Structure 1
């Protein structure tokens, strides 16, 4: 009898020791993010640093991240799995026709949110590809014109501090080592600008200017929540607490329902 009780106690003890901790059981993610990245070249440092930050952010926020490096997999069914499409410097060309059509529906019909960086406005004829006119209109009817090739730091001024993407940001802050694209026209008439760069603050000084120079904006004509960041060239950005705060704010805002 004692032997039987001993066995029972051992079984109970093992259940206590090896039973799964309810808190340790992984919860389903709040939402899934699809990240389309541009790897290699001059933007590799930024993309690698941004992905490292993103994975840490996703772990803390209980989000799931899928990273792809080309558009071959993208179609309507594939995109339906993701709440946020993150375009991490991948340019608006070299997309398959099926991927273009699926992305246009995703944005126009509000099937998910979009956060884009830097190279997403490399709009024009590049590497033998024609300009994607829909994407140009999405970004405010613009075409890429020029950029500060040697990079410059600049002071960014927030225009709408009440917008969720700008939550917690100071009225102005410095962004280091960026290329600061210019365009053939100002996107402001077609989009809502959240922040601009003071071109007089460039360090080193540059003659490549637009005048009024928006750098963060949203397109309220689309059903999908969307936000574009002109900045996104150098890994030093991930040392900026303001940039990381905007990055996180943008992802969480883009994933929620409501007008842009």
Structure 2
């Protein structure tokens, strides 16, 4: 079971102070005349419960603060029941916050495909978004596999490993200001049946020779951040997303922040 970091502990007085200030700031902002409407709206499909809940909780805190500081709005949903064309038309960006590519309603699947293929909004996916295969009694979603570069999940490092990530395209807007290589601690490092590289534009990859501790669970060429330019929607997949401590990693938060504004055309 994933350990929560101290910064997210409800027993930490600083955490309570931060939450109080964030709530009060939001209320003040809503009440101040002249603030205007949000510049853009984001919907985050957030995985609920399980070992990824600490990461999702940390992501919500970070996103809410970023949204307040930059005058955009974020709504959170925990399943796909509300998703249809009308629902998605409200949003300029869809964030798949560790939610897997299965157990979507047929209506949600159809609306999401249209949203991406017609470029109605941008997309950022994390971690579980490439959990592609047969899971929990659900078949693989072929369209989503193609969206992710034609891959299928094969394995992961259950005991975790540190690794160094190299930025391959330093000119891409999502990579601006990111030092390379940068460390990522205690990650699962999914492997897939093949590298997505032939079908996507790779932005960053992990150097498997830097795994600490070393492991036999490797795939060779190992992209971890990419965009699929065959779709109209601006999209980025970011593999990292298991531990809440990622929000203390400046490279990760810079990439997340850059990706939001790029994918939402801001």
3-state SS of the aligned residue for 1:47?
A: helix
User: Could you tell me which of 174, 181, 191 is aligned with 1:172?
Assistant: 181
Q: Deviations over 1:219-250 (max 9, x none)?
A: 00000000001111011101101100100000
2:196 corresponds to 1:191:
no
- Cα drift, residue 24 of structure 1: 4.8
- Answer with 204-213 or 111-120: which moved more: 204-213
CA distance in 1, matches of 2:247, 2:216: 27
In terms of Rg, which structure is larger? 1
Q: Deviations over 1:33-89 (max 9, x none)?
A: 000000111111111111110000111110100000000000001000000000000
CA distance in 1, matches of 2:70, 2:208: 36
CA distance in 2, matches of 1:23, 1:161: 40
3-state SS of the aligned residue for 2:58?
A: helix
Question: Residues 1-260 of structure 1: matches in 2 within 5 Å?
Answer: 24-256=33-265
* Unaligned 5+ runs, structure 2: 1-30
- Cα drift, residue 170 of structure 1: 1.2
3-state SS of the aligned residue for 1:58?
A: helix
CA distance in 1, matches of 2:113, 2:200: 17
3-state SS of the aligned residue for 1:246?
A: helix
Distance verdict in 2 for CA 1:82–1:204, change over 3 Å: same
- Cα drift, residue 25 of structure 1: 3.1
CA distance in 2, matches of 1:47, 1:175: 17
CA distance in 1, matches of 2:71, 2:217: 42
- Cα drift, residue 136 of structure 1: 0.1
- Cα drift, residue 204 of structure 1: 1.6
3-state SS of the aligned residue for 2:219?
A: coil
* Over 6 Å off, 4+ runs: none
- Cα drift, residue 171 of structure 1: 2.1
Cα RMSD (Å) of the superposition? 1.2
CA distance in 2, matches of 1:241, 1:172: 12
- Cα drift, residue 23 of structure 1: 7.0
